[in-house]
Amino acid sequence: MSNAMSNAVSGAMSGAISATTSGMPNATTPVAHLVREHLAARRSFRPVGSGTWLHGGGPFADAEPIAVRSHHAGVVEYEPGDLVITVGAGMTWRELSQITAAHGQMFALAPYGSDDSTLGAMVSTAAAAPLALGDLLMRDLVLGLEVVDGTGEVLRAGGRVVKNVAGFDLVRLFTGAHGTLGIITQLSLRLHARPPLDRLMRVTMPRPVADALAGSLPALIAQRAPLPLLLSHTPGQPLTLWARVSGNAARVAALRAQLAALAGTGAHEVDDLGDIDTPFESPVESPVESPVESASATMGESSGHAGSAAAVPSPLDALRHTPVNAAVLRLRTPRSDALPFVQAVHRTFPDASWQYHVERGSLRLVVPHHVPHHVPHDVPHHAPSHDAMNELDTQLDLLYHHAAAQGALHRIAVAWDQGRAVPAPRSALDQQVKARFDPAGLCSPWRVAPELLNDTVVHTP
């Protein structure tokens, strides 16, 4: 990065921060207090929500947990007429869904993993989700944030209205930062009205997978229906097309017919699996956020707020489930290469499951890895061995080769969501941003020693 650009970035950042905090009361939060305590003692720390995905997202060094859920888990403000809710970052997806369902509203995406994921963690990891309403991404749904940065300062970015873009976009910066720049304590989220019908539909294609792909994928790309679509494969099962079909009865009927045509010849009939969203047996009252005096933070401690209503499993759960002892990769290539790319994935990783996201041209690959006998059953995640990682690297090389041999023209971008301890390369800009928000380097520190990166490590959240 040139000096001029670098100066422009830091200038824009500092300007935006003072703009977003000016006029605010000199706010503090229990989490800010804890961060300052850690800074004073030079102890590294890491935010923890429900603790279901501490193994994902990157190679974090050991750090003391700061439990967000204990302090920030209630509703701060909810104006259903505005389709915006402001909540503590420790509220879970399940709690948010219960509260918004009572007003005929919803959060548009349900991430991979657990219904007990906290919203702060979901935003911090920019969690991916299958078949999100309207193909929305996490960054589309976060309007504003309150964050305690690595200096213990409370920052507020964005706002509580849909149109609110001014200065450097700190909301986007913290969405997907994996807690390395600070701890999210509060969020303003965009909601959607529940459509009259919101169905999960499935078509199975009982031909050999390679044939079924050739018969359906080009049409899916060329004549894409205006609805979220996924092609999925699990070893030993037929290729399956999934769709989220929402709207009124006439639209749903029309899209269902279109889906049958898109699946190609030989496909089974379209199965309507029912309402896509988790139905809750009884809505709960909105808990209201109250300041908490205690500064103690114990990992996994719960606020005792909402969450008591039992949820009936949603048909979408089958797609959201991810084994913890597996490598999860996101592969992406231009959609013009879709057929050779997906065929090459299927050929190269015969034991893996995958989901190809037709709208985005991205593929989620889940490669299970062997867990040695000495690892107890209750250990939730076991990192793959050196040998397993080396084998995966070899398979990735082979994938590029197979895709090119089948006619792919573009490179394949690979990102690891789970199972590999390799930090993203740090650019000069990354370093500058980190230095601005966490100059002491104590906030969610990366584990950088190269010889440790692929070590067999047992993570116990």
Ligand X SMILES: Cc1cc2nc3c(=O)[nH]c(=O)nc-3n(C[C@H](O)[C@H](O)[C@H](O)COP(=O)(O)OP(=O)(O)OC[C@H]3O[C@@H](n4cnc5c(N)ncnc54)[C@H](O)[C@@H]3O)c2cc1C
CB atoms within 10 A of CB 115: 20
Q: Closest approach of Cβ 111 to ligand X, in Å?
A: 3
Q: Work out how close the CB of 360 gets to ligand X at its nearest, in angstroms, rounded to a whole number.
A: 13
Q: How far is the CB of 24 from ligand X (least distance, A)?
A: 19
Report the residue number, 53 or 354, with the smaller CB distance to ligand X: 53
Q: Interface with ligand X by CB under 6 A: which residues?
A: 46-54, 56-57, 68, 89, 111-114, 117-118, 120-122, 124-125, 127-128, 178-179, 183-184, 322, 324, 328, 417-418, 444
Three-state SS at 239: strand
The 10 Å Cβ neighbour count of residue 290 is: 8
CA-based Rg of the chain, rounded to a whole angstrom? 23
Q: Least distance in Å: CB of 98 to ligand X?
A: 16
* Interatomic CA distance for residues 368 and 95, integer angstroms: 31
Compare residues 137 and 225 and give the one whose CB is closer to ligand X. Answer: 137
Instruction: Give the separation between CA 298 and CA 40, rounded to whole angstroms.
Output: 19
Closest distance to ligand X from the beta carbon of 187 (Å)? 9
Nearer to ligand X, 97 or 216 (CB): 97
Give the shortest CB-14-to-ligand X separation in angstroms: 22
Q: Where are the alpha helices (DSSP H) in 196-273?
A: 209-222, 249-262
Angle between helices 249-262 and 209-222 (to 10 degrees): 130
Candidates 353, 297, 346, 371; CA nearest to 69 is 297
Helices (H) and strands (E) in the chain, counts: 12, 19
Q: Are the C-beta atoms of 299 and 460 separated by less than 8 Å?
A: no
Closer residue to ligand X in complex, CB, 80/368: 368
Question: How many C-beta atoms surround the C-beta of residue 56 within 10 A?
Answer: 22
Minimum separation from the CB atom of position 32 to ligand X (A): 13
Residue 108, C-beta contacts closer than 8 angstroms, at least 6 positions apart: 132, 133, 134, 136, 140, 141, 190, 191, 192
Distance set, CA 277 to CA 8, 131, 246, 260, 364 (Å) = 44, 11, 11, 22, 22
User: Which of 148, 259 has the CB closer to ligand X?
Assistant: 148
Q: Which is nearer to ligand X, 124 or 246 (CB)?
A: 124
CA atoms of 134 and 152, how far apart (whole Å): 37
Calculated CA dihedral for residues 431, 436, 438, 440, nearest 10 degrees: 90
Shorter beta-carbon distance to ligand X: residue 225 or 417: 417
With respect to ligand X, which residue has the nearer C-beta, 256 or 382? 382
Measured N-to-C along each axis, helices 428-437 and 3-21 cross at an angle, to the nearest 10 degrees, of: 30
Which is closer to ligand X, CB of 105 or CB of 186? 186
CB of 183 to ligand X, least distance (A): 5
> Cβ of residue 383: shortest distance to ligand X, in angstroms?
14
